[in-house]
Amino acid sequence: MNLEDKTFVVTGGASGIGRATVGTLCAAGATVFFGDINEEGGAETAAQVGGNSHFVPLDITSDESIANFAKTALDAGDVDGVVNVAGWDIIQPFIEQEPEFWEKVVKINLMGPVKLTRAFLDPMIARNSGKIVSVSSDAGRVGSMGETMYAGAKGGIIAFSKSLAREVARYRINVNCVCPGPTNTPLFNAQPERMREALTRAIPFRRVAEPNEIADAILFFVSDRSDYLTGQVLSVSGGLTMVD
């Protein structure tokens, strides 16, 4: 897939799926402005990927930070697509969580992508083109024990994307979701070994995804090969979930 002369923004680019996405899009010829709250990790991604990647510090819970990130990217020229990857969670029973935890999960996993998307929407509408891809989660599709608030926020991203897709189709803007299952990321590897082993056994392929496998699905959705797809949810889970 050729993304030469295309520019995309990616959140969560300092590690995991976000880092893989930056590398995959740049390898296809795109210019990528990517953000993360982890500035050290962001610098590492930029060093690994090379000259057509540009790191801009970003806290998606901060309106000011989102505005600064958007201004930096848009000042450089047209932005062809937005990829919302940044996310966060801690696995624990819902009844053990405090309201402050709920609010943090929703700010990062739902409202952050919503606000980031809004920051780039007007120029896309003016140009009558654009690709918006949000990384949700299979937890948002089917639920996940110990991830109740996270699943709720990620389910919100799915509903937001489907509804936005209907609103902006008239402007030839595609809005889609990628839903990873368990993936070899710092977030997954922070879980107890027993949990990681149980999840791996439950996957028909008997392994978790690698970040680049999720990035490949994102690449498809930002490319011209998905021009007639919008409001869709693609599970990349090795067959762990197979429901509609």
Q: Which residues are catalytic?
A: 150
What is the C-alpha separation between 18 and 32, in angstroms, rounded? Answer: 11
Q: Are 34 and 13 in contact (CB under 8 A)?
A: yes
Task: Give Cβ neighbours of residue 81 (< 8 Å, ≥ 6 apart).
Answer: 6, 8, 9, 130, 131, 132, 133, 222
Q: For 174-194, give one letter per residue: b (16+ CB within 10 A) or e.
A: bbbbbbbbbbbbebbeeeeee
Q: Are 61 and 100 in contact (CB under 8 A)?
A: no
Instruction: Give SS3 for 158.
Output: helix
What is the C-alpha separation between 82 and 121, in angstroms, rounded? Answer: 9
CA-based max dimension of the chain: 51
Task: Give Cβ neighbours of residue 198 (< 8 Å, ≥ 6 apart).
Answer: none
Report residue 35: phi and psi, to 5°: -125, 160
Instruction: Give SS3 for 92.
Output: coil
What residue ranges in the chain does DSSP mark as E strands?
A: 7-11, 31-36, 53-57, 81-84, 130-135, 173-180, 233-236
